[in-house]
Amino acid sequence: MLKSLNAYRLNNTRKAEIDVLFFNRCAKVGSEALLELFNKLEDFNDLTMEREGLHRPTKRQLEKHEQRELAETISEFVEGSVYIEHVNWIDFEAFDLPKPIYINLVRDPVERVISWYFYSRGAYKNAIEYRKNPDKPIKSAEWYKKDFNECVRSGDPECQYVPFSVKDFVGNFKRQTLFFCGHHDDCIPFNSPAAVQMAKEHVERDYAVVGSWEDTNITLTVFEKYIPRFFQGAKTVFEIHNNQITNRNKNKRKPKIDADVKEMIRKNFTNEYDFYYFCKQRLYKQYLALHSFTTKSLNNTRKADIDILFFNRCAKVGSEAMTSMLDNLGVRNQFVLEHLGLNKPGKRYLPPKEQERLADFIFRLGANSAYIEHVNWIDFHDYGLPKPIYMNLVRDPVERVISWFFYARNSYKNAHMFRKNPNALLFPATWYKKDFNECVRSGDPECQYVPFTYIDYIGNFKRQSLFFCGHNLDCLPFDSPYAIQLAKEHVEREYAVVGSWEDANITLTVLENYIPKFFRGALSAYYGNFDNSFMKFLYFCLANKAQITNRNRNNRKPHIDKDAGPSVRMQSLNALELNNTRKAELDLVFFNRVPKVGSQTFMELLRRLSERNNFQFHRDAVQKVETIRLADDQQQELAEVISDLPEPSVFIKHVCYTNFTKFNLPMPIYVNVVRDPIERVISWFYYVRAPWYFVERKAAFPDLPLPHPAWLKKDFETCVLSGDQECTYTQGVTVEGIGDHRRQSLFFCGHAYECTPFNTVGALERAKFAVESQYAVVGVLEDMNTTLSVFEKYIPRFFEGVRDIYQSSAEYLTKINKNNFKPPVSEKVKDIVRHNFTNEIEFYQFCLQRLHKQYLATHIPQKILAP
C-alpha cells in the first residue's frame, strides 16, 4: 500500500496557474499561528504578504459578483504573494481566472466549536471590537458567564448543533466543511453528507496541502516539501520562533470541558468528523509519500562507519536488563562489552573537549566492541571520528520519573553509593520516607516538573529527550519543543534502533534484524538463556521486597481510636472564650467583605437566610471607585449608618475593619472570610480581565473607558516572570497605583496608615489582634464545611440552617461569580509570588487555625456537604 503512494500525484501545487498562495483560513484552527509563521517567512523566502483580507468582515456566503471581485483581486497579485482571509473556497476557473495555490488547516470539529465559544467571550476579542465600534450593543454579563458544560446539558439553543440546520441561534462557525465546500446553497445545511462530499472533492482536486497543528511536524514537513517556494525553511523558522508562533491568539483562559459533554456533541458532528479524518488521512499520505519505507531506508546501521555499538543509555528505561543481555550475547556473537562506562557518574552536559575524549576512547575500542554509558548523544563526525552504531531505549516519561523517585531512595542503590564515597552527605530520614503521591499533591519542589526549567531542585533525569538531543545548551530546558525537535532529528538520522521494554517482543525482533552482529539470538536469550547473575538479581529484588517495605516499620504500635486524638486536643478549647458574638452590643452582623474570597456566595447565603431567619438584608451600592480606607469622619458616618439600621440586620460592604467604640457607638457582630493569599491575587488578576466584568462596569458607569486590549490579554505567569510592575509584590510599599487588593490583612488591620505597607509585621499583628478580639467568625473559603458549621454554631440568630441551604443549592452557589476564563498557574510561578507574601500567608494560616479551634471547641460532628 505504501509503495503505491506518489508525492507527485498527491501534490496539487503543480496544478496552480499563478504563483500566488491563497489561504482561505477556517476559523479557530490555529490560522493566526500560521499567519505569524508567514510573517517570519516573508523576508526569508522573499514573499509579499497581502494583508487586506485580514481586516475584512467574515461572511458565510458570497454572492457571485463578490466571488468574482475577490478572485480578480487575488489573480492580480505579483508572484510570491500570500493572501489570507476567512472565506469559503472559490472556483477561479468559473470566472476564467488562473488558479492559485490553495492551502488551509483543519482541527478536531468539537474542539473548534468549544474554542469558538470561549473565544467569542474573550475580553481581548471584545475589547478590540468595541474599540472599532463603540456603539455596538454589549451582550449581557450572563452571556459572558455562561458555562459550556451547562449550555450543552441544559439544551440552550446556542449549544445545540442540529444536523441539517441552516440558521444558527448564534454564529459559531460550526461548519468547518463550509470553508472547503464553497458558496453553493447546498453547502449551508450543517453536517450534511452532500456538503461533505463537495468539500472532499475540492480538497482532493484543488488544495495543495490541508494541514493541522495537531500534527505540527507532519504539517510543516508537507508544506515545506510540497510548496517550497513559500515554505522553505518553515520547520527551522518554527523552531526558532516557536513561542511567538504558538502563542499568537492562544486562549489560555479556556476551561476544561467534561468528557461526556464532548461525547454528546460528537453525535451531531458525524459528517464533519468524516471530513476532518479525510483531510488528516490525506495529509498522512502526502507525508508518507515523501519517504521510501523499506527495511533498508529505515535502518541506520548501514550509516555507521565502524562496527562499534554505542548504547548511550537513558536512565530508568531498563538499561540494566539490556546490559545483562549484552553480557550474554557478547560470548555468543563474539564482541567485547566495555564496562568502564557503567561505573562513571552521569553528567547531563559535557563540554566539547570531554565529548571529544569520550568519542576518541570509544573509537579506540576497535571493531566488534560495545560501549554503554549514561551520556547524551555525541556527534562523532564533529571530531573527525567514524560514526558508531547508535542504539537506546525509551520508557513512558511519567513512569520513568516515578521509577527514579523510588530508585533514588532505594537502600541497595544508596549502599553502593556510600561504599564508593563514605563521605557523601546523607539526606534526612524524612526524605527517604517521602511519599510520591503526597510529594506531587503538596507542591513539594522535588515533584514539580516545570516546563522550560534548567535547574532542578533535585536531579531526577526527567529529561528523557536530553539523551537524544545532545550537549547543546538548547537541549537543557525541560519539555522544550526545540529540544524535542533536535532529539527527533537525531533519532531519525542517527539511531539504528530505539527500543522499549514496554514492547519487548518488537524491540528484540528489531534489534536482532537491524543490528544482527550484536543482537543475533536476542529473543532466545531473553526467553530462555539469561545467565544466572541476572536471574539472581531478579530473585534478590523479589525476595527482599518484604524486607524493604518493612524496614523501620513499627509493627508493635497499638491501634489508636479515631476519636482519641481530637478528644485530647479539644480538652483545652473553650467555645465561650472563642466566641466574640457575646461581646456585640447590637443584634446586627457587619460583613466587611474581603474581595475574591467567595463573598458573593456568602452574600447570597445571607440574603436567603434573611427570609428564613427573619432579619433585614442590606448591602452597599456598587461604587464606581471602591474606597476601602476611610478618613475618620467617613468611618464615623459609616458606623452611624450601620448603627441606625433596625435590629436584627446584616450590612455588607467592601471596607476595612471599623472600630465602632472609637465613636462611642455600640459594637456589631463582625464577620468575614479569607482565602489563600496567592489564589486571591491570581483570582483578582483574571477577574478584572473577565469579559463580563467590564460589561457590568460599563453598564453601571457608561463613561468608564474600556481597558486596552494588550492589558486584557496579559497572562499572570508572564506578568510575574517578566517583572511587570503589576505582578511585582514588593514588601513595605504603600501605594502601587494598581488596585489589586493584595493586602488581605488590610481588611482586618483597619484604616490607619500603618496598615498600608504591604506584607509587614506591624500590619500583620494589628490584623491578628482585631480578629482575636473583635471578630465572631472569620471563615475560610477553602474549608467551607468547617466555616458554615462554625457560623451556624457561633451566630445561630443569623446563620441557623445555613448548611442545609448551602447543601440544597450548592451547584448554584458555587458558580456565583466563578471565572471560567481563569487558566491554571504553575507552582513555580506561585512559589515566586509566595516569597513576597510571607506575612499575608501567616495571617491566613492564623485565621484558619482559629477557625479550626472554634470548630473543635463545639464538638460538632462534621457534616459532609456538596463541594
Report, as residue numbers or ranges, the catalytic residues: 654
C-alpha cell at position 269: 458532528
Strands (E), 170-227: 207-211
C-alpha cell at position 464: 528523557
Residue tagged 543509555 (cell numbers): 313
Give the C-alpha separation, 186 to 449, whole Å.
Answer: 51
φ, ψ dihedrals at 336, nearest 5° = -105, 125
Q: What angle do CA 565, 568, 573 make, to 5 degrees?
A: 125
Q: Burial, 164: exposed, middle or buried (Cβ in 10 Å; 0-12, 13-18, 19+)?
A: exposed
CA distances from residue 533 to 316, 327, 519, 530, 537 in whole angstroms, order as listed: 20, 10, 19, 8, 6
Give the C-alpha separation, 75 to 652, whole Å.
Answer: 66
Per-residue burial over 222-256, b if 16 or more Cβ lie within 10 Å, else e, is bbbbbbeebbbebbebbbeeeeebbebbebbbbbe
Would you call 11 helix, strand, or coil by DSSP?
coil
Q: 85 and 53 in contact (C-beta within 8 Å)?
A: yes
Handedness of CA 165, 166, 168, 172 (dihedral sign): positive
The angle that helices 109-119 and 270-289 make with each other, rounded to 10 degrees, is 110
DSSP per residue, 537-604: HHHHHHHTHHHHHHTT--TTPPP--TTHHHHHHHTT--TTTT-GGGG-SSSEEEE-PPTTSSHHHHHH
The angle that helices 761-774 and 838-857 make with each other, rounded to 10 degrees, is 20
Q: Which amino acid is at 754?
A: E
Q: 353 and 535 in contact (C-beta within 8 Å)?
A: no
CA distances from residue 600 to 114, 590, 626, 754, 781 in whole angstroms, order as listed: 28, 15, 16, 29, 12
The residue among 548, 315, 318 whose CA lies nearest residue 414 is 548
Length of the chain: 867
Per-residue burial over 52-63, b if 16 or more Cβ lie within 10 Å, else e, is ebeeeeeebebe
